[in-house]
Structure 1
């Protein structure tokens, strides 16, 4: 599976997670608008500095303009370095470079797949939701980022680390560990009662919607304990709407999948095998974490007056209503270079 999955890590947060995957043997391409941030990634095999970038300082529009201007080179780097069938784009939703570039880059690369310009089969995302203590701008960026991310047609699974659940670096490591545990099920877990093959892992990863994974030691593996463990995982909370596409599980202990279905919903399919060490359970095709994003939205709205006051002091523009909290308050800048006609509409979508 490591030969089939690659990662494009954008920005500093994306780079931190990407390095953990590279250390586990995956191919990783690091993209950044800051040359200084790229230099902090030790022993990285593939790095690319987005042309004209000197960091984005949480400015999503600035990041998008840089991608528009340099997309031909960025896409060439992705296709040359990622000799894989599936790519996950990693970025923090609350930052500038990753938040601005991430959804737009995914959409543009999916456009290349649809037009036959890429041999990559699917593209998913790993993103990070900011802690409540992070800045108002981080919450605004997060909400705007998810507005774009949720509107992408053809995207594969999305994993969302929730930074309110603990130490950032520890959460990153836990995400990488549990992801690797999941994709290694076909090679490590065999049982006469049933197996999960690589095609089923791939199908689970390629399903559109949120994807969450948990791991519970065998001696603690009851149905209730596995369900409860999702609430302590690195991921944003699961919506209670019972929308689900797949359950993929390697069971230990006394886990009852039929009882799980009554709690999480009836999936299109269940992929199941067994082992005697730990239960590894993946739920895929879930709805986006609306309740968590509503909390992000409320945090942003609470600070609108303060943000408006601070931005008006330097820009003189007013605040407009709606999701795009900051765009009307930013000083006007140069228009991005005209993209090629085949990508113009997608780029217009993100640049307004």
Structure 2
């Protein structure tokens, strides 16, 4: 079966190192993709990507987790970046903006980039794909960046486009998280399942990815497609934890069978009653999308608590670096040197050696 899918309308803007790694599988699958970075080394590491789809921001040498630096670099070059998107992804209707919430290059710009793209490009929505840092292994600076990035995403909440928030706490293998998410999103965007019992059509998939708020995608094989296993994927997955408030706007459910294996009323009981539920049948797998969820406020509160816990220690360390604790010793030898009588005149020579 062939025909137009949402995949044919979608492109990816990969920002920073994480954005590049996450988007390479989409690029290989034929999705229009532009890789943007302030660090040339990161772009050079993308060996399978044609150079014409890489854009190094002039003067950029990386942002070393500095969101302000990222904002300033992008601000100066934003018109060129927009032109690159137009040139490399003509005709797309959905632009997925992909970048890490905890890094430097992307965290400072992904929210603003969504607003710029919505205003300057002829597209319908800009879903965001981002990832939260591992709270046990990564730095306090990465946690601060993550908190501020999601606060900016919340601020532009009415701009069309879902936010997929992956979580590095969920799996020690970051690349495995990337691979799994690619499989889920690609299955949704390229869906062509067809059944006389009903289908989730392109317009409904577009509604799912256009709805503001957090979204998650679950996928199960035919042999595992039952209610309890599907509910389990809402919590044991690669995403930031769902809130318990049961706020939800849409559910998209593409069944592997005739729908008898999954009780939709049990799904409602678990996640909340949506405005609408788009349902399809007789697919090769079960795919479920929850869209219009609350942002992961409980997880962000935990991150803020960890930041606050380390605040005094960080301030003390920074203050200690600025203190001149040896200043009282300056001039200590002056009297000794002055009291000594020169025994002989130094021979002329290369005095520069005294500077080393």
1:235 and 2:239 are equivalent in the alignment: yes
The question of whether the paired residues in 2 share the 8 Å contact of 1:56 and 1:96 is answered with: yes
The question of whether the paired residues in 1 share the 8 Å contact of 2:252 and 2:277 is answered with: yes
Distance in 2 (alpha carbons) for counterparts of 1:275 and 1:98 = 39
Q: Deviations over 1:5-59 (max 9, x none)?
A: 1010110011100112111211110111111111111132311111221101000
1:348 maps to none
The question of whether the paired residues in 2 share the 8 Å contact of 1:157 and 1:285 is answered with: yes
1:81 maps to 88
TM-score (norm 2): 0.83
1:223 and 2:227 are equivalent in the alignment: yes
Distance in 1 (alpha carbons) for counterparts of 2:164 and 2:74 = 23
Please show how residues 1-352 of structure 1 align to structure 2 within 5 Å: 1-45=6-50, 46-83=53-90, 84-112=92-120, 118-132=121-135, 133-152=137-156, 153-166=158-171, 167-185=173-191, 187=192, 189-252=193-256, 254-275=261-282, 277-312=284-319
Shift, 1:103, TM fit: 1.4
Larger Rg belongs to: 2
Going from structure 1 to structure 2, the CA distance change for 1:244 and 1:70 (only over 3 Å counts) comes to same
Secondary structure of the residue that 2:30 maps to in structure 1?
coil
Gaps of 5+ in 1: 113-117, 317-352
Secondary structure of the residue that 1:303 maps to in structure 2?
helix
Secondary structure of the residue that 2:8 maps to in structure 1?
coil
Distance in 1 (alpha carbons) for counterparts of 2:32 and 2:22 = 13
Going from structure 1 to structure 2, the CA distance change for 1:315 and 1:216 (only over 3 Å counts) comes to farther
Secondary structure of the residue that 1:285 maps to in structure 2?
strand
Q: Deviations over 1:217-250 (max 9, x none)?
A: 2222221210111212111111111111111011
Shift, 1:308, TM fit: 2.0
Shift, 1:82, TM fit: 1.9
TM-score (norm 1): 0.84
1:328 maps to none
Secondary structure of the residue that 1:191 maps to in structure 2?
coil
Secondary structure of the residue that 1:123 maps to in structure 2?
coil
Gaps of 5+ in 2: 1-5, 324-356
The question of whether the paired residues in 1 share the 8 Å contact of 2:124 and 2:160 is answered with: no
Q: How many residues align?
A: 309
Q: Deviations over 1:257-285 (max 9, x none)?
A: 12211221111111111126421111001
Q: Deviations over 1:269-310 (max 9, x none)?
A: 111111264211110011101111112212211211232234
Distance in 2 (alpha carbons) for counterparts of 1:92 and 1:77 = 21
Going from structure 1 to structure 2, the CA distance change for 1:310 and 1:56 (only over 3 Å counts) comes to farther
Going from structure 1 to structure 2, the CA distance change for 1:312 and 1:63 (only over 3 Å counts) comes to farther
Distance in 2 (alpha carbons) for counterparts of 1:40 and 1:219 = 39
